[in-house]
Structure 1
Amino acid sequence: YRSYPINSIDSKQIHNGDILLEKSGGGELVPVARVVLWDRAKEYSPCLCANFIQVLRTKRNEVIPMYLMHLLTILHTMDIVRLHIKQTTGIQNLSLNTYLSQSLPLPPLEEQRAIAEYLDRETVRIDRIVELLTKQRERYAQLKRSLISEVVTHGLPHHNYTMKEANLPWLDTIPEHWEISRAKDMFKRMSRSVKETDEIITCFRDGQVTLRKLRRKDGFTESFKEIGYQGIRKGDLVIHQMDAFAGAIGISDSDGKGTPVYICLQPINHLYYNTYYAYLLREMASSQFIFSLRKGIRERSCDFRYDTFATLYLPVPPLEEQQEIVAYLDERCKRLDRLVEAIDRKIELLGSLKKSLIEEVVTGQRRITN
């Protein structure tokens, strides 16, 4: 909570039609200086803004707020705002003096109103389509989670297995012919030295374990003293101790090296298929079971150590069935992933369309129609 002196509330209170300008924040991909138009005074009144927000209030007889909001939006989307940013220690600060000293095009009031109403109408249409696509995307993602959850714990569909009690805190029943075994009796923790040619491998929260350079380089801190780094080999089952609860569990697709926070596993014998157990452990993360074991104090983290993993009891289908489950899930998950990727492309295209529409209308490159 933030407290304000009583005598300052009137001057800091925001009203309908005010433009809220982000003057501190931003990030690597999105610069500071995002803007929104405040129109919710009836729901939240009185309402004050945080100190990293600048309130802009137009002279209503000269400037339509919605028009100015769209105009300031294109300054942001066209990266013009970067001319007015001061950055220290990763935090972007907007220079209000130079930002507010810019000369901006100002058509007659009626033309501003027409532009604002046209853009409001057309952007709402785009936003509605994006909302529908987003809901469809969520349904596919939920279908994928449900599919993995059911198959990895109860076997392939249409087999009509007889079920038995699993007696596990996170799992009710399993097929009668499956066994239960303790993780430490199934997997051995690998401890390998690092080769000179090894490159850094990262275990991501979506389950991909790959060379960092193949996915992204930004957003990571490079370590000059690689103390404790371990060798990772293609096919290892890798568990990120701190992020396993969020799904950072998967099979390495490359040889390389990783930090000591990774648990690298190989089966003790031929009865256990790493890829099946990657699916299973990610399901245990998705169901929040791994998070329930947390011992860490960092918010939204869970120190899922090897000693904790080793004590867990896991279902053991016959090896051939493990492989069949993996093949079945791989094929169907790829289908669902392709559908999600297609939706993501449509959403990205609509975002570009919306951006271009605002830029062209506000700058006079496109004539507006009723």
Structure 2
Amino acid sequence: MTNLPQGWEIRIIDVVCEILDNKRIPISQKNRISGIYPYYGASGIVDYIDKYIFDEELVLIGEDGAKWGAFENSAFIANGKYWVNNHAHILKPNNEILINRFLVYFLNFSNLEKYITGATVKKLNQQKLRQIEVPIPPLKEQERIVGILDESFAKIDESIKILEQDLLNLDELMQSALQKAFNPLKDNAKENYQLPQGWEWKSLGEIAITSSGGTPLRNKKEYWENGTIKWLKSGELKDDYIENVEEKITEEAIKNSSAKIFSKGTLLIAMYGATAGKLGILNLDSATNQAVCAFLHKNKANIKFFEKFIFYFFLSIRDRIIKDSFGGAQPNISQTYIKNLQIPLPPLKEQKQIASYLDELSLNIKALKENYKIQIKDYEELKKSLLKKAFEGRL
């Protein structure tokens, strides 16, 4: 660290802090008794227990199970009565030299990766911790810097909190619109609620054929090398139109497996695993596997449903589908369950009108969400800029 402002000096943590790691005590989860006192780990509070070790403000920084890159918030203040396990180092700065919050701001500003050991299990061991260099200005300057950062960060965090609530409000707005679209009379009945004239309750199995494919053997190169047929994986379903897919398979793979090709415009839903319930509408012809279910018209001469209408219907009830589909560690939606789902079905023309309205609303909400996310990112960058100025003596 070079070009320090006048009056600043470099000290290592071993010189300016007492390390209280010998006082920390881990308690296994089965031996913890629930209580009012925070139980701290590498990144913050992990539980509340019935007793405490410390009753003073100290600085904690993750020893393992944390992140130590720049702006990763690897250090934090603990105060009041609390307990600390063996995954966080405990620092007691000499407050005649170094203010607690100044140290926390510096540690969270810094990239500490050069002090980290271990390839598979990364760790900031105590020996390396003691070697961390800290730029230390006079106490009054530390107080001034901390005061500016505290006030600025409080305002920034409040602005971020408002934007995050705005994002949640947009999600609620979309969900409210979906509920209204499929229950326009706002009937409070849980099932088969009253519908407008011309609407009717139908099971999905009555209006659509459900179909899924199978995966060609991965060890057969002739199925995968130089393929020309698009191959969609369930992880590529993003609740939107599918414009492109990563993999391709060969015609031989289609002939010699249960994989199926679905045409442009087909509605798809992921049936199990981490992506269960995710949706997509093909904007290209593509094959897919057994983890994805397609919805096909029973009679192309007498079309009963509009894909985008069914898409939005699934969005409106997805939480229920996922809740109903847990059979093990992860959701597993069966085609039988899908076929038995009851849908409030208006005439085809009205389906398209409803889908068009929801499309427009969805696009507007996406644009607003993108704007809010950009603002949040800008605020986070402002925090980084303030920290950089602080430790270059330009704040």
Fold shared by both chains (TM-score > 0.5): yes
Q: 1:34 aligns with which of 71, 74, 77?
A: 74
Deviation at 1:70, TM superposition (A): 0.4
Residue in 2 aligned with 1:278? 311
Residue in 1 aligned with 2:21? none
Deviations 1:19-67 (A, max 9, x none): 221232357x99977222224x2xxx3x223433222221222210000
Q: 1:207 aligns with which of 234, 239, 245?
A: 239
Does the alignment pair 1:61 with 2:96? yes
Residue in 2 aligned with 1:360? 389
Does the alignment pair 1:266 with 2:296? yes
In the alignment, the residues of structure 2 paired with residue 51 and residue 232 of structure 1 have an alpha-carbon distance, to the nearest angstrom, of 54
Residues 276, 100 of structure 1: alpha-carbon distance in 2 compared, 3 angstrom cutoff: farther
1:62-211 pair list within 5 angstroms: 62-75=97-110, 80-86=111-117, 88=119, 92-154=122-184, 169-170=190-191, 172-192=193-213, 196-197=227-228, 198-203=230-235, 207-208=239-240, 210=242, 211=244
Does the alignment pair 1:324 with 2:353? yes
Residues 252, 118 of structure 1: alpha-carbon distance in 2 compared, 3 angstrom cutoff: same
Deviations 1:101-158 (A, max 9, x none): 122211122221221111111111111111122222222221121112211332xxxx
Equivalent AA in structure 2 for residue 102 of structure 1? I
In the alignment, the residues of structure 1 paired with residue 159 and residue 390 of structure 2 have an alpha-carbon distance, to the nearest angstrom, of 20
Q: Is the 8 A contact 1:237 1:265 kept in 2?
A: yes
Equivalent AA in structure 2 for residue 278 of structure 1? F
Deviations 1:313-333 (A, max 9, x none): 222111111111111110121
Equivalent AA in structure 2 for residue 174 of structure 1? L
Q: Indicate the RMSD between aligned Cα atoms, in angstroms.
A: 3.5
Equivalent AA in structure 2 for residue 185 of structure 1? E
Deviation at 1:249, TM superposition (A): 2.4
Equivalent AA in structure 2 for residue 37 of structure 1? I
In the alignment, the residues of structure 2 paired with residue 347 and residue 126 of structure 1 have an alpha-carbon distance, to the nearest angstrom, of 9
Please state whether the residue corresponding to 1:325 is helix, strand or coil.
helix
Residue in 2 aligned with 1:294? 325
Q: Is the 8 A contact 1:33 1:81 kept in 2?
A: no
Please state whether the residue corresponding to 1:57 is helix, strand or coil.
strand
Residue in 2 aligned with 1:237? 267
Residues 281, 182 of structure 1: alpha-carbon distance in 2 compared, 3 angstrom cutoff: same
Stretch moving more, 227-236 or 318-327: 227-236
In the alignment, the residues of structure 2 paired with residue 260 and residue 271 of structure 1 have an alpha-carbon distance, to the nearest angstrom, of 25
Residues 199, 245 of structure 1: alpha-carbon distance in 2 compared, 3 angstrom cutoff: closer
Equivalent AA in structure 1 for residue 60 of structure 2? L
Residues 361, 170 of structure 1: alpha-carbon distance in 2 compared, 3 angstrom cutoff: farther
Please state whether the residue corresponding to 2:155 is helix, strand or coil.
helix
Q: Is the 8 A contact 1:267 1:274 kept in 2?
A: no
- Deviating runs (4+, > 6 A) in structure 1? 29-33, 164-167
Deviation at 1:254, TM superposition (A): 4.0
Deviations 1:323-355 (A, max 9, x none): 111111101211122112111111110110011
Q: Is the 8 A contact 2:212 2:288 kept in 1?
A: no
Residue in 2 aligned with 1:49? 84
Q: Give TM-score, length-normalised by structure 2.
A: 0.72
Equivalent AA in structure 2 for residue 23 of structure 1? E
Q: Is the 8 A contact 1:192 1:232 kept in 2?
A: no
Please state whether the residue corresponding to 2:131 is helix, strand or coil.
coil
In the alignment, the residues of structure 2 paired with residue 108 and residue 238 of structure 1 have an alpha-carbon distance, to the nearest angstrom, of 64
Number of residue-to-residue matches in the alignment: 327
Equivalent AA in structure 1 for residue 59 of structure 2? I
Gaps of 5+ in 1: 155-162, 215-226
Residues 20, 213 of structure 1: alpha-carbon distance in 2 compared, 3 angstrom cutoff: farther
Does the alignment pair 1:19 with 2:59? yes
In the alignment, the residues of structure 2 paired with residue 148 and residue 65 of structure 1 have an alpha-carbon distance, to the nearest angstrom, of 50
Q: Is the 8 A contact 1:126 1:350 kept in 2?
A: yes
Deviation at 1:189, TM superposition (A): 2.4
Residues 234, 34 of structure 1: alpha-carbon distance in 2 compared, 3 angstrom cutoff: farther
In the alignment, the residues of structure 2 paired with residue 50 and residue 186 of structure 1 have an alpha-carbon distance, to the nearest angstrom, of 58
Bigger radius of gyration: 2
Q: Is the 8 A contact 1:181 1:315 kept in 2?
A: yes
In the alignment, the residues of structure 2 paired with residue 24 and residue 166 of structure 1 have an alpha-carbon distance, to the nearest angstrom, of 51
Q: Give TM-score, length-normalised by structure 1.
A: 0.76
In the alignment, the residues of structure 2 paired with residue 113 and residue 142 of structure 1 have an alpha-carbon distance, to the nearest angstrom, of 43
Q: Is the 8 A contact 1:183 1:312 kept in 2?
A: yes
Equivalent AA in structure 1 for residue 86 of structure 2? N
Deviation at 1:209, TM superposition (A): 6.0
1:243-258 pair list within 5 angstroms: 247-258=277-288
